[in-house]
Structure 1
Amino acid sequence: MTIIPNRLLHALERFNAAHPWDHNQHYHPWILRQLPRRKKLGRALDVGCGAGDLARLLAARVAEMVVGIDPDPEIVGRARESTPADAASVTFAVAAAPDGIPDGPYDVITCVAVLHHLPLTETLTRLRDQLAPGGTLVVVGCAREETAVDHLLSLVSVPLNLAMGWVKNRGRTAPRSVSMTAVTRSPDTTFADIAREVRRTLPGVRLRRRLFWRYTLVWRG
C-alpha cells in the first residue's frame, strides 16, 4: 500500500508516459560494479533477461558465455534480434525460473525486478546452488511497501523520478524508448519478509532498500 494520493499517482503516470525511463536499467551500472575487479569471469546467467540489455553488458566482463532466460518467447526473440550476430558469447533461451534455470556453475548470476514473480525460497535456493564457488549473485528486486521507511523512500523517489525523466528525455523530439519487458505485477511480499528469508537462505548477504521502489541483494558464493 502506498501513501501517495491517487490524484498524484495519476499525474505521475501521465508524466512518465511522456518522459519514460527504465528504473531497472538505472541499476545496470551499479550491478556491474558489484562484480570482482579482476580478469574476465567465466560464465554468467541473467534471469528474466527481457530484451537482453543487461546480458549484453555482462558479455564485456565474461570470457566464456552469458545466458539470458525469460519465459516470454516474444521478448526472447526481441533479445536475439537486438544482439549483434558476432556476439557468440551471448545466448538467450525461453525458460521459466526456478525450474527452468540452466545448470551452472556460473561466476555471475543477475536477477532484476523478477524475484517477486517467483517462489522466493525455491528460487533463492536454485540460484545459490548454481553459483560457482566465489561467484557473485546480484538481485535488484521489488517489495510491497509497509513500514514508515518504505513510505519515506517512496515519497523521496517521486521528485527524483520526475527529475530523472526530464533529464533523460531533455532535448528529444520524441520520448526515448524503454526496454521491452514482460507484463509485471505489483509485489505482495514486504521487504521485512524478503529479508528474513534471504538471510536464512544466503548467510552473509548484503541487502539494502533503494530508491525508485527497489531493493538490492549481493551475495558471494
Structure 2
Amino acid sequence: MTSSTVPERDRWNYNTHYYRLTDSAASGDARTALDVGCGEGMLARRLRLTVPRVTGIDPDPSSIEAARAVSEDIDYICGDLFEHPFEPESFDVVASFAALHHMDARRGLSRLAELVRPGGTLVVVSCARSEFPRDLVMEGVSFVAAHIQIRRHTMWDHESPVVWPPPASYREMRKLSAELLPGSHFRRHLLFRYSIVWRKPNSVI
C-alpha cells in the first residue's frame, strides 16, 4: 500500500520498524536534528516530537514535496548531502535510514559523522548485502522474522526511489563503521537491516 492510501500511524515497513532507535538520541538536551534521506518525512516528524529544530534532506523532489505538504515546522531541503553547505558539527542528532546504501559508504559515513556535534549522536539504519555461505543462517532467520511481522502489519510501500541490491555487505559495513567511528555499536537486525549508533566524543585528545 502506498503513502496516499495508508494513515501515517498505520505505516509499517522494515525501515519504520527501527525508528525507535532514534528515541534515546532525540531525548534530553538535543536541540537540533538532521534526517538524511528523509523521503516523505515520517522520521523527521517523529524527531520533531522531542527536538525543537529538525531538518530533512533528500534529493527526490516528489518526496520533499510530499513531506512539506504534511508539516510546516520542519525545514525540508531538496538537495544532495555532499553538496549542501551544512556547517560541520551543527546537529545534536544525525539520523539516516535506508539512505547510506544509495551512496559510497565510506564517503557517506564520513560526511554523516562530520555533521554531528561533539557529544551528539549518529544513528544509521540501512541495507547491506548478504554473503553466502557466511550469512545463510541469519538470512533464513530473517525471512522467518519478516514473515511473522508481515502477518501482524500491513506492509507500507513508500514512493521514494529504491536501490537494490545494496553494494556493500554486512561484513564490510561492520568493518567500515569500526574504522571510521571508533566506539560505535554495529548490529545486524532480523528485518534485513543493520544499525550503527555512535556518540561523537566531546573532544579529541
**Could you tell me the TM-score, scaled by structure 2's length?**
0.84
Distance in 2 between residues matched to 1:43 and 1:144, nearest whole Å: 32
**Residue 77 (structure 1) aligned to one of 65, 78, 94:** 65
Say if 2:146 and 2:190, in contact at 8 Å, map to a contact too: no
Tell me the distance in 2 between the aligned counterparts of 1:183 and 1:106. Answer: 27
Matched, 1:93 2:74: no
Amino acid at match of 2:130: E
Deviation (angstroms), 1:110: 0.4
Larger Rg: 1
**Is the 1:207–1:215 Cα contact (8 Å) retained in structure 2?**
yes
Structure 1 residue runs of 5 or longer lacking an equivalent are 1-19, 170-175
Mapping of 1:1-221 within 5 angstroms?
21-33=12-24, 35=25, 37-39=27-29, 41-63=30-52, 65-83=53-71, 85=72, 88=73, 90-100=74-84, 102-104=86-88, 105-148=90-133, 150-169=135-154, 177-221=156-200
The amino acid that maps onto 2:136 is H
Q: Aligned residues: percent identity? A: 33
Does structure 2 conserve the Cα–Cα contact (< 8 Å) formed by 1:109 and 1:138?
yes
The alignment yields a C-alpha RMSD, in angstroms, of: 2.0
Partner of 1:12: none
Distance 1:181 1:142, change over 3 A: same
How many residues of Structure 1 are paired with residues of Structure 2 in the alignment?
A: 189
| Corresponding position of 1:4 | none
Contact 1:113–1:141 (8 Å) recurs in 2: yes
Q: 1:110 to 1:36 in 2, by over 3 A?
A: closer
Q: Is the 8 A contact 1:46 1:55 kept in 2?
A: yes
Cα deviation code 1:158-182 (max 9, x no counterpart): 222222222124xxxxxx6443322
Rounded Cα–Cα distance in structure 2 between residues aligned with 1:181 and 1:155: 28
Greater alpha carbon shift after TM alignment, 132-141 vs 181-190? 181-190
Distance 1:191 1:166 in 2: 26
Give the distance between the partners of 1:101 and 1:122, measured in 2 at CA. 16
Greater helix share, structure number: 1
